[in-house]
Amino acid sequence: MEASRPSGERRRFQRIALQGAVKLYARDGSWPADLIDLSLRGVLVSHPAGCDQPPGTRFRMDLRIFENLPVSMGVSLMRSDATQLAFAWDRIDLDSFARLKRLLELNVEQPELLHRELTELGR
């Protein structure tokens, strides 16, 4: 069964609001940010001062939630505004993916959708 989405909603993956610390690394600098939410494919963070990169810029992101081991991933900036940066991740090591999956399993409102989303990742 397909989850209902608000009109105009393009997201295929559930987003989970969590508090966490983020560190962004690009060729010309690094910036701390706060996690706003994450999904199996994307991450939304606060817009750190001085980080004025255009969409398409690639970053390495280290994400830490609840003082756990970091989830490290390669991400691309999809969009930004004055307060937020939205990323899609495109590279992640197996250990970080396992930690990300576990975080989502523990915090998702609809666990059955998470299993569908995991299947969609392989497509």
**Predicted confidence (pLDDT) at residue 12 exceeds the cutoff of 80:** no
CATH number for the domain harbouring residue 59: 2.40.10.220
Q: CA-CA distance, 46 to 73, in Å (whole number)? A: 17
Q: 5 in a domain, yes or no?
A: no
Q: 20 in a domain, yes or no?
A: yes
Enclosing domain of residue 23: 16-121
Phi and psi torsions of 99, nearest 5°: -65, -40
The one-letter amino acid at 34: D
Q: 7 in a domain, yes or no?
A: no
Q: CA-CA distance, 87 to 105, in Å (whole number)? A: 21
Q: Distances in Å between the alpha carbon of 14 and those of 41, 54, 58, 91, 116?
A: 9, 26, 23, 19, 11
User: pLDDT tens digit string along 38-94?
Assistant: 887 889 999 999 999 999 999 999 999 877 778 899 999 999 999 999 999 899 999
Q: 106 in a domain, yes or no?
A: yes
CB 63 within 8 A of CB 20: yes
pLDDT of residue 105: 77
pLDDT of residue 8: 44
Q: Distances in Å between the alpha carbon of 63 and those of 10, 20, 28, 88, 119?
A: 24, 7, 19, 14, 24
Q: Domains in the chain: how many in total?
A: 1
Q: 1 in a domain, yes or no?
A: no
